[in-house]
Amino acid sequence: MSTAQSLPYMQKQDPKMAEAVRGEENREATGLELVPSENYISQACHEALGSVFTNKYSEGYPGARYYGGQDFTDTIETIAIDRACKLFDCKYANVQPHSGAPANIGAYFALCEAGDTILGMDLSHGGHLTHGHPVTHITKSFNFVRYHMKNPDTGEIDYEELREVALREKPKLILAGFSAYSRELDYQKFVDIAREVGAYTMADMAHIAGLIAGKAVKNPFDYGFDIITSTTHKTLRGPRGGIILIRESEELAKKIDKSIFPGLQGGPHMHSIAAKAVAFKEALTPAFQDYAQQILKNAKAMEKVFLDKGIRLLGGGTSNHLLLADVYGSIGVTGQEAETVLDEVGITLNKNSIAGETRTMFDPSGIRFGTPAITTRGLKEAESTRVAELMIEAIINRENTAVKDRIRVKVKVLAETFPIPDSFV
């Protein structure tokens, strides 16, 4: 990773900012990142993000811009689009969304009219805020209805309920996707139900896009989904940004393009698009497929430790990159308490509500963690097992300073043994 010597201008002009950057760099280098939506990018991606493309306004699309001087912006956006289509086996891609939420919102407005119904997963059962939680502004434009897990202990989606709701509510769009769900979805059932009621199908694959790209899990396009939205960070290991993929419909692709610009956003972030293109090329390599498979292996290794210790996992375990543990129900420790003590020992994750939650969202029953970032650093099953053991030891001994100090040293040694790589190819 970059060093303090790479900040000469910032150090001279704004030393407080330089100090904060170095502090974060040290935190990442000496700790272990288990937030399942976080990862590390290559130095090639860093170079693209810090490039002169951040200076350029490029409203419009390649070959149809509203400003001059677009020779090289058209080049990088076209490359990014071509690589994204190859990576996910689709015909069209929009690489301009600034992040995952704008990608979802842009897709909604492309596919639906104001007041139309959208059917998505309930937040408390693993869905995302943008899938229709009442606190979001998007619920003022569309009518969101929800489906749930049939059994939180197995993770099985209640597809009978999903079909019943779809037949009753006649949604314009059926949404598959999640933020805190640890199993694979039955995409064929989503498509069958959508065809029965005449709805579009959209998969929000922000969390597992890298696993799809790496051919470690199923691709919704193989089952007839119309659209996939995603972030480009998380398991895809690119810059923070969004993307919308269209399986084959040119008509839908045109609607998506118009919805993102000028409908939702102004100038695209060309430096981010350049970095997306770099990440897509990295993800097209055999090494990335090995990486995606290792993410799953590491998650299963952590699953075994938690289950062996009698800690309840939502979904009964994991089939992807993340786990959701009911630490309050299992060992009487709240999600906030667990997050805090793990921060103290250098392990970062997030508190999370669980299905049937009885506590508040600010101090819920669960913790959510995953393996994308530690897998990037080269940890395999043995090290992932050790990390899980240290997590549980720290949570149980959260009031024992000596134990926490000892665990912090072990975490630091492990982090230094597996430094954050500069390159993945």
Residues taking part in catalysis? 57, 59, 204, 231, 234, 240
H/E element holding 88? helix 71-88
> Which of 252, 325, 264, 247 lies closest to 84 in space, CA to CA?
247
Token pair 């490039």 is found at 51
CA 280 to mean position of chain CA atoms: 15
Q: Which residues pair with 349 in a beta bridge?
A: none
Residue type, 404: K
End-to-end CA distance of the chain, in Å?
15
Q: What is the DSSP letter of 363?
A: B
C-alpha span between 373 and 378 (Å, rounded): 9
Residue with tokens 């497929």: 289
Q: Please check whether residue 128 is in contact with residue 101, taking contact to mean a CB–CB distance below 8 angstroms.
A: no
Instruction: Quote the tokens at residue 391.
Output: 């997590």
Tell me the C-alpha distance between 83 and 146, whole Å: 34
Strands 366-370 and 350-352: antiparallel
Asked if 200 and 74 count as a contact pair (C-beta separation under 8 A), the reply is no
**How many Cα neighbours within 13 Å face the side chain of 156?**
7
Q: Are 407 and 394 in contact (CB under 8 A)?
A: yes
Q: Which two tokens stand for residue 191?
A: 């498509």
In whole angstroms, give the CA distance from residue 412 to residue 408.
6
- SS3 of residue 142 by DSSP: coil
Is the CB of residue 234 less than 8 Å from the CB of residue 179? no
- Burial level of 55, CB count in 10 A (0-12/13-18/19+)? exposed
CB atoms within 10 A of CB 424: 19
How far is Cα 182 from Cα 318, in angstroms, rounded to an integer? 5
